[in-house]
Every structure is written in structure tokens, then in C-alpha cells.
Amino acid sequence: MCTVLVTGGLGFIGSHTVVELQNEGFDVIIIDNLSNSSISVLDNITSITGIKPAYFNIDLKNKEAVQHFFNTNAVQGVIHFAAYKAVGESVLKPLDYYENNISSLVYLLQEMQKHQIHNFIFSSSCTVYGQADKLPITEDAPIKFAESPYGNTKQIGEEIIFDTTKASHLKAIALRYFNPIGAHKSAKIGELPIGIPQNLIPFVTQTAAGIREELSVFGSDYPTPDGTAIRDYIHVVDLAKAHIVSLKRLLNNNHKKTFEVFNIGTGKGNSVLEIIKTFEKVSGKKLKYKLVERREGDITAAYADTTIANTELGWKAEQTLEEALLSAWEWQKTLIT
């Protein structure tokens, strides 16, 4: 039995990845300090798979706690989600973001090196590309000056990992996520934004549920067909599955380089207005929205070239935008009651 540590395993993408790991027969240990998740997710994961993951409430900034964990638990691989991830908040609290996202990564890698754990999957982001010059975006697109401290922590994180693979036996894969949306088909796990949602889809579903008065569409003067910004919205379960194939690639030594990067998206871009129209179609709900000013730091368009992920990982997004949006709505409806 292969034991995998999933940091941030009670979070949105982490919890969906834990379910897929358990479906594949992996033994999962979760570390999560509940700073952006709820302990109820642990039981919800268990109710889906019938297997309760081991769970430790550890703050990865606590070096001694991280050392103690690795001194007392044997793992063969680590999937690292735990990080602060709100772009806007990172601009207001840069030092919190650098301290949390960077020091926790360093402590994790130090313990992996000490305990000869060589397989590492890192949660990165398409944010590292900024506004790419060419679309769709390939992995060799230039890394641009980060628009936010959050995006910078992802760029720095990739550099730290790359340097560590050069100086040790570490094998690592960074997955550059595009926009994860939706929820598990059981509607037992999904996105749980705390407070006012920063991301589009939870704001859409909360507006449809009557929790939010009206959706603001940030910008209608972009150089796009309908004037609203374009993103690559990928079903979170498709994204979770990309972590499984990546981990197996490392465990089976099928990697071509000790540090590899893959874009994980659908390869298709959709505008905000297209998202609204598609959501209305699949949910049967009319969405109240208004066109307002652009949001500071937003880019016009981003969608992935997934050729490398398709050919090297043998992975491709399978679920449609309609299925993703409907799953988000089914999940939201469980939250109203």
C-alpha cells in the first residue's frame, strides 16, 4: 500500500483529490490547519469512499510540528495544496502570503529530503503566466512578472522545487491549474468559500440561490468577442485526476526530467457572459447581473494548451462546462438547506 500525504486535503481541490486517491487504492494522510476549510469535509470524504483518511491538524509554518509528523509517519509521496490563495487578499497582506506559502513549502521539502521521500506534486497556477502573449498558453510561455504576491509565491515555489531537485533525489511535478470549478457528483464535497466569494462560480451559484443580490461582471470592455474576460474553466474532478496520473508517473519513474510542469485546463476559453448563459441553461435559474468596471489585476484571457499533459500524462479533461456548472449548482443547493 502506497501512503500519500495530502496537505490542504480538506480544501476544495485537496478533498476531491483525496477521493480520487482513495478510489485508486492509495492510503491517504491529510494535513490541514482548517484556515480555509472545515472539519466536516473529513466525514464527507469518508461518506463518499467509505474510507476515513488519517487527519492531522498541523500548521505547516510550525517547523517542529512538521518535523514531528515526518518522524512519526512514513509516506511515499506528497501532494502539496496547503497555501493561501486569494489574489486580492495577497495584495493587502503580502508578508502573510510569503511567510505561509514559502516557509511551509521549505519545511516540507526539508523533511522530505531528510526522510528520503522523493515524489512531490505541487499545486501551481496559470497565474504564473500573467497575460500570456500567445493563446492557448503552452508550458514554455514566458513566466511574467507576478501580478500579485499570491502569484509570486507560486513562481517562487516552482523555483525552490526546481533548485531542490537539482540538489537532491527529489522528483517533482508542478501542475499549473487554470480555473477549477464544480463539485463531486455526490454533491457531498465542493467549493466552500468563506465570506463573500472572490471567484466567479461560487458568486454565480450564491446569486442563483438568493444568498447574493446580484452578480457584478468585472469589465465589459475587454478586447474579446463579447467584451468580457475569458478563462479556462475545468471541472475539479478532472483536475483531481491529473494529480493521480502525475503521482503515478513519479512513483513508476516514468518522468523525463526531475522537475516537470503541466498545464491543467480544458484547452477551451469561455467568457463571463458565456458562463452566465450556460449556467442559466443548465440550472433553469435566471441570473441577476450588472456590468461594472474591470477588477484590478485581472487579465483579458487565459486558456491552456494541454497537448503536453495529454501526451505525457495521458490525461485529458473529460467533463463539459455544462456538467461542471450543473455540479456546482447541485452542490450549492445542498448548502442552502
Q: Any idea which residues carry the catalytic annotation?
A: 150
Q: How far is the CB of 104 from ligand WQD (least distance, A)?
A: 16
- DSSP assignment of 131-155 equals S-SSSSBPTTSPPPPPSSHHHHHHH
CB of 43 to ligand WQD, least distance (A): 26
What one-letter code names the amino acid at 7?
A: T
**Distance separating alpha carbons of residues 175 and 239, to the nearest angstrom:** 9
- Looking at beta carbons only, is 217 or 324 nearer to ligand WQD? 217
Q: Are strands 233-235 and 179-181 parallel, antiparallel or unpaired?
A: parallel
Residue ranges in contact with ligand WQD by CB under 6 A: 85, 87, 125, 127, 177, 179, 198-200, 203, 215-218, 229, 231, 272, 295, 298
If the CB atoms of residues 256 and 290 are measured against ligand WQD, the closer one turns out to be 290
- Closer residue to ligand WQD (CB): 210 or 314: 210
DSSP H helices, 84-216, are: 87-92, 94-98, 104-114, 149-167, 200-208
Please spell the DSSP secondary structure of 262-280, one letter per residue: EEES-S--EEHHHHHHHHH
Give 115 or 212: the residue with its C-beta nearer to ligand WQD: 212
Give me the least distance between CB of 17 and ligand WQD, in Å please. Answer: 14
Q: Could you tell me whether strands 259-264 and 171-177 are parallel, antiparallel, or unpaired per DSSP bridges?
A: parallel
Least separation in angstroms between residue 82's CB and ligand WQD is 13
φ, ψ (nearest 5 deg) of residue 165: -65, -25
Q: Cα separation of 18 and 29, whole Å? A: 9
Pairing of strands 270-271, 230-231: antiparallel
